[in-house]
Structures are given as C-alpha cells and as structure tokens.
Amino acid sequence: MMNICLKTHAKQVKSEHIVMHINDRLPVFIHSPCELACEFKVEAHRNYYLLVLNVKGELNLTCQRCMEDFQYAYHNQSQLAVCVSDEVAETLMSSYECILSDENEVNLVDIITDELHLYCPERHEDLTMCHALIG
C-alpha cells in the first residue's frame, strides 16, 4: 500500500520518483511481481487535485492469443483529477480522467494497478509474432 497525501505532495516543486513492486490485483496475463518506476506530481487546484503520472517498466506478459511469454516495455502517462464529489468530477470529465477521494489521500499502487488493467496490451502488438509461434 502506498498512500500519498495530496496536500503535502502539492507543495513539492519537483516531481517525485519511486519504484514500486506490485504483486496483487494484476491482470492475469502480467507475471508477478511487477516492478514499475513512477514519476508523479500533484498540483492543487481550487476544488480538486491534479495527479500527473509517468509510469515505466519492463513487464513479463503472457500473450492471450498464442499463450507465449514476451517482454513488453510499458510506458503510460496520465493525468487524474482527484475530486471530493461527483459534481466536481462531472465538470472535469471532458478534460481529465477523474477519481473520487473524500480524504486528501490516494493509494498510488491501486491507481497504477488499475491503469495496468486499462492500458497494458493482452497480446503481442505485432500479429506476426503470434503467427510465427502458432504456425
């Protein structure tokens, strides 16, 4: 668990860097443990915090098409508006992905794990890699 206090981190001038090891709640096709480098910055706005993430790592995946293991250079950049209410989130949805938090904290590991579910490919991006193995 990696909770960060948004109010405290919003006072930081520079981005912060951490390396995280994720073992739980990973998509079934990502081998555990998963090591990712995360650079993040928090910006305070009038009625929300903006969490800017840049996540990178070499992932070991099992292709869900050919079932062979392969390496994938994961890189995802995102901006999340952390809102205290649905009303604030609705006004920001056209500009940002939004999450709700009634506290001034979020769990970075949970957010990055959720992003792996959304953005990590389930199979070889190049179909010929599967055909070479299947054929």
- Domain, as residue range, for 93: 3-134
- Residues 6 or more apart in contact with residue 33 via CB below 8 angstroms: 21, 22, 23
pTM: 0.88
Residue type, 85: S
**pLDDT-derived band of residue 2, with 50, 70 and 90 as boundaries?**
confident
pLDDT of residue 132: 56
Overall average pLDDT of the 108-113 stretch: 95
Domain count for the chain, please give it: 1
- Residues 6 or more apart in contact with residue 113 via CB below 8 angstroms: 22, 24, 25, 26
**How big is the chain by its Cα radius of gyration, in Å?**
17
Mean pLDDT, the chain, integer = 91
The answer to whether 109 and 1 have CB atoms below 8 angstroms apart is yes
% the chain with pLDDT above 90 = 82
The answer to whether 76 and 37 have CB atoms below 8 angstroms apart is no
> Would the pLDDT of 36 be above 90?
yes
> Would the pLDDT of 133 be above 80?
no
The answer to whether 43 and 50 have CB atoms below 8 angstroms apart is yes
> Would the pLDDT of 134 be above 90?
no
Overall average pLDDT of the 71-100 stretch: 94
